[in-house]
Homo-oligomer: A and B are copies of this chain.
Amino acid sequence: MPRFRLTLEYHGGAYVGWQRQQNGRAVQAALEEAIQALSGASVEVVAAGRTDAGVHARGQVAHFDLARDFTPDRIRDGLNFHLRDEAIKVLDAAIVPDGFHARLSATARSYLFRILNRRPPPVLEAGLVWHVPVRLDADAMHEAAQHLVGRHDFTSFRAAECQAKSPEKTLAHLAVRRAGDEVLITAQARSFLHHQVRNMVGTLKLVGEGRWSAANVKAALDRKDRAAAGPTAPPEGLYLMRVDY
C-alpha cells in the first residue's frame, strides 16, 4: 500500500483551516474529497501543520496511503483536476517509505509573515498581507526578534487552546527585513506552539511602531504569561512556506 507525500499550496482565506470543523470547509476535507474522486478510496490525510483559518500555504506537506498504484504525476495532475474549483493545488507528489509521517517526521517548519507597511490599503495584495499603515522600523524589530531565538519557554506567545505537551520550543531563526513597502518576517523551528508566529509578529509590531523596546520583548518572554506579550497578528499575512524532513 504505497504512501504518498504531497506538497500543497492553498489560499487560507477560502477555508476554516487545515482541520475539519463544524463551521465551514476545511483544506483537509477538500483534499480528501479530491482523493476519493480520483481513486474511489476514502482516506485520511495527515499534514505537517494544522494551519488556522486564513493562513496560507506555499509548501504544506501531507501524506496518505492508497491501496491502488498511481504514478506520482497521475496523483498530482488528477488531484489538481478534481481541485480545479478549490483554492488548493498539489505542487508535487511523491511515493515515500511507509515510515514517513508528514507531522512526526518533520525536522523544521518555515513560515513567512508579510506586512504591507504603507498608508493606502492593499489592492493587489488584498487578503495576502497584514496592512499596517504606521511606518515600522524593521531594523528595530529584527534586533528585538533575536531575544526570541533559541530554546525558551514560549508561554507568553502561546494560544490558550494550544495542545502541545510543553511550552518549550527551540526557535532556530527569526528575522525581520524591509522589502519596499513590505516588512517580511521569517521564522523557522522544528515545531511551533499554536499561534506562536502570529503572537511573535503582533509583539514585534509594537517594537516597529516604537512603543516597545527590545528589552520589553525579552521581559515579555521571561514573564511566561500570554498577557505579557503583544496581540495576535491576523492570519492573512502568514504563509507556511516549507517543511523539512
The chain A residues found within 8 Å of chain B, CB to CB, are 9-11, 56, 58, 76-77, 80, 84, 87-91, 118-124, 126, 128
Contact = CB atoms under 8 A, between A and B. Distances in A.
Contacts of A121: 80, 84, 89
Nearest to A14: B123
A55 to B, nearest CB: 12
- How many chain copies? 2
B90 A120 contact: yes
A69 to B, nearest CB: 21
A234 B104 CA distance: 44
A11 B120 contact: no
A139 to B, nearest CB: 24
A128 B123 CA distance: 11
A18 to B, nearest CB: 15
A80 B120 contact: yes
A58 to B, nearest CB: 7
A20 B164 CA distance: 57
A182 to B, nearest CB: 13
B124 A76 contact: no
A187 to B, nearest CB: 19
A11 B124 contact: yes
Given A11-B124, A123-B9, A124-B128, A91 B77 contact: no
Q: Please indicate which of the listed interface residues A91, A122, A123 has the most CB atoms of chain B within 10 Å of its own CB.
A: A123
A124 B87 CA distance: 8
Contact of A9 (B11, B76, B87, B124): B124
B80 A124 contact: no
A9 B91 contact: no
A77 B120 CA distance: 8
A101 to B, nearest CB: 24
Contact of A89 (B9, B56, B120): B120
A123 B76 contact: no
A8 to B, nearest CB: 9
A118 B122 CA distance: 26
Contacts of A77: 119
A56 B124 contact: yes
Nearest to A12: B124
Nearest to A73: B119
A90 to B, nearest CB: 6
Contact of A120 (B9, B119, B124): B9
